[in-house]
Amino acid sequence: MNPRVHLPAAVAPLPPHQLQTLVENRTVFALDSYELNIFETHQKAHRVPLRLDGLALTTMLRGKKVMHLPGRPAFDYFPGESVVVGEDERMEIDFPEACACQPTQCLAVAIAPDTIRQTVELLNERYPRAEDHTPWALAGPEHAHLTNTPELTSTLERLVAVSRTTDAAKDVLASFTLQELLVRLMQTQARQLIFHGYARHLTTHRFAAVVDYIKRHLAENLSVDKLSALACMSKATFFRVFKREFGLTPIEYIIRERLAEAKRLLRQPLANVADVCLRAGFNNLSHFQALFKKYEGLTPGAYKKLTV
């Protein structure tokens, strides 16, 4: 079963009489520091070229695309995912399933280079990362295809809302929200780099060692004192810098890792919920069930029935 999908609030597709084209129909909201595009495709199409001004964060809302980007294999692109497209980078896109009854819909936020530079410089000056050799920056093409986090999704949803409003102060509000979006994007890329690729960075990034320890001791009592010592930081600094770098606290990360392990165990035919609770590192069944429902949207028992 796929992980829970995090999507911004739905944007209603345009009625047929408002479409200028059935392939990549474009609705644009232009603001001072970025341009929000809503693309819709209502029929199958192959190798449709597209180029956006500036770096763009694209997010799928409906349907399926197949993305062709320079220098990398083609890949499927689904709702709940985002792709960062480089400045003036040419995309080619397939729409294998699009139709009038099931259009494909995608957001694309094209961001002015100066806005990105100013945000990155501000972060590096005032809120440096844990390692001097990994300053704030948008990651390269190897981390361009992302699974949306709740934090990134929530910020993107607010950016869409403010972009479509008629509020006289919308450019000011949008500027603050765009800065937050860039921070959330870099935090999401940092999670992908360290949470998933930690093994490659054990000797070069202190948080990679922390992640490795957490993953190897999930079922045990994980003390913040131990984790902060591994990071060679005081407890307060460890909490503050971890959240700054990844957008969630160490405790929230541990909960999410334990829930991921619980889902893996629940997919085993003979597993029962009480046993999974303990094996995943939770020591209270009611607390486990409440957290599972909060994060996954259904109970452990219901999840098991869907996956076995």
pLDDT of residue 172: 92
Distance separating the N- and C-terminal Cα atoms of the chain:
10
Containing domain of residue 234, as a range? Answer: 199-308
User: Is the residue at 176 inside a domain?
Assistant: yes
User: Is the residue at 63 inside a domain?
Assistant: yes
Within this chain, do residues 128 and 246 fall inside the same structural domain, yes or no? no
Quick check: 239 and 224 in contact, CB under 8 A? yes
Total domains present in the chain: 2
**Cβ-based neighbours of 134, under 8 Å, separated by 6 or more:** 205
Structure tokens at 101: 């009854």
> How long a stretch of residues is the chain?
308
Within this chain, do residues 174 and 46 fall inside the same structural domain, yes or no? yes
- From 196, 219, 240, give the residue that closes a domain: 196
pLDDT of residue 116: 94
Q: Determine the angle formed by the axes of helices 150-164 and 170-191, rounding to 10 degrees.
A: 160
CATH number at residue 298: 1.10.10.60
pTM of the model: 0.91
Within this chain, do residues 267 and 232 fall inside the same structural domain, yes or no? yes
> Could you give phi then psi for residue 217, rounded to 5 degrees?
-130, 30
Quick check: helix, strand or coil at residue 77? strand
Within this chain, do residues 44 and 64 fall inside the same structural domain, yes or no? yes
Closest-CA residue to 147 (of 217, 84, 237):
84
Within this chain, do residues 300 and 282 fall inside the same structural domain, yes or no? yes
CATH number at residue 160: 2.60.120.280
Written as one string, the DSSP assignment of 11-55 is -PPPPGGG-S-SSSEEEEEE-SSEEEEEEEE-S-EEEEEEE-SSE
- From 139, 164, 196, give the residue that closes a domain: 196
Compute the distance between CA of residue 77 and CA of residue 36 in angstroms, rounded to an integer.
Answer: 19
Within this chain, do residues 180 and 69 fall inside the same structural domain, yes or no? yes
Closest-CA residue to 81 (of 129, 159, 145):
145
pLDDT of residue 3: 55
Beta bridge partners of 34: 111
- From 148, 176, 196, give the residue that closes a domain: 196
From the first residue on, what is the mean pLDDT of each consecutive set of 10 residues in the chain (308 residues)?
73 93 96 94 97 93 96 94 92 97 96 93 95 92 91 95 90 94 96 95 96 96 95 96 97 97 95 96 96 94 89
Compute the distance between CA of residue 238 and CA of residue 106 in angstroms, rounded to an integer.
Answer: 37
Beta bridge partners of 55: 111
The whole-angstrom distance between residue 63's C-alpha and the CA centroid of its chain comes to: 18
pLDDT of residue 1: 47
> Could you give phi then psi for residue 59, rounded to 5 degrees?
-140, 125
Within this chain, do residues 181 and 217 fall inside the same structural domain, yes or no? no
